[in-house]
């Protein structure tokens, strides 16, 4: 007699009940339709929301790109401004000192004029000191403005008076009372001049 033939009726019923409990529950037709409808509504909702989310994301990306471009431009402007300021500091750091030395240079020019008839050794000594000081100023970027005979330029010259003359064109500089100077093309002191004007009646 085989093993399974020995199983009692009660054992067979218990085995059948166990198989039934472990098998998947059957879905009715109504439950199946409801599940399909719910899945379709969920898909429709996601399909309706997706374009909105994409548009929002694109707007945020565009805004971030704009901010990045603006920050980049601001940084470039700051870097260029800082570079210009650094260059200005380098070129004009000594301007205050050089301006204080200009009256000394003026006094040497007057001294040279005053010692024209003096002993040549004195004249040569004063000229030598003047040349040495002038060379130091020139090496520092200082340039003289030679106004004699030039047309009057209000950007470079300061007119002290006018002089009637027919020996020069009207508006030309006929006398330089005090020499002007520039530092690296920036005006430090204008030349003080007398300007020609046409004689009355001509």
pTM of the model: 0.56
pLDDT digits (tens, 9 = 90+) for 173-202: 999 999 999 998 889 999 999 999 888 765
pLDDT digits (tens, 9 = 90+) for 86-120: 877 777 778 888 889 999 999 988 888 888 887 88
Question: Which is the CATH superfamily of the domain at 143-202?
Answer: Head domain of nucleotide exchange factor GrpE (2.30.22.10)
For tokens 């020995």, what's the residue? Answer: 6
């Amino acid at each position: 007699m085989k093993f399974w033939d020995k199983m009692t009726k009660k054992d067979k019923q218990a085995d059948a009940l166990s198989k039934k409990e472990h098998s998947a529950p059957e879905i009715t037709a109504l439950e199946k339709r409801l599940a399909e409808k719910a899945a379709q509504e969920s898909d429709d909702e996601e399909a309706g929301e997706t374009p909105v989310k994409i548009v929002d994301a694109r707007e945020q990306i565009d805004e971030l790109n704009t901010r990045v471009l603006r920050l980049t431009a601001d940084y470039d402007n700051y870097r260029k401004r800082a570079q210009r300021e650094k260059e200005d500091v380098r070129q004009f750091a000594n301007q205050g000192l050089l301006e204080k030395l200009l009256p000394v240079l003026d006094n040497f020019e007057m001294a040279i004029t005053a010692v024209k008839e003096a002993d040549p050794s004195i004249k040569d000594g004063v000229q030598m000191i003047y040349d040495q000081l002038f060379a130091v100023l020139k090496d520092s970027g200082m340039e003289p403005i030679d106004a004699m005979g030039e047309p009057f330029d209000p950007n470079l010259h300061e007119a002290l008076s006018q002089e009637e003359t027919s020996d020069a064109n009207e508006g030309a500089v006929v006398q330089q009372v005090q020499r002007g100077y520039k530092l690296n093309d920036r005006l430090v002191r204008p030349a003080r001049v007398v300007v020609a004007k046409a004689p009355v009646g001509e």
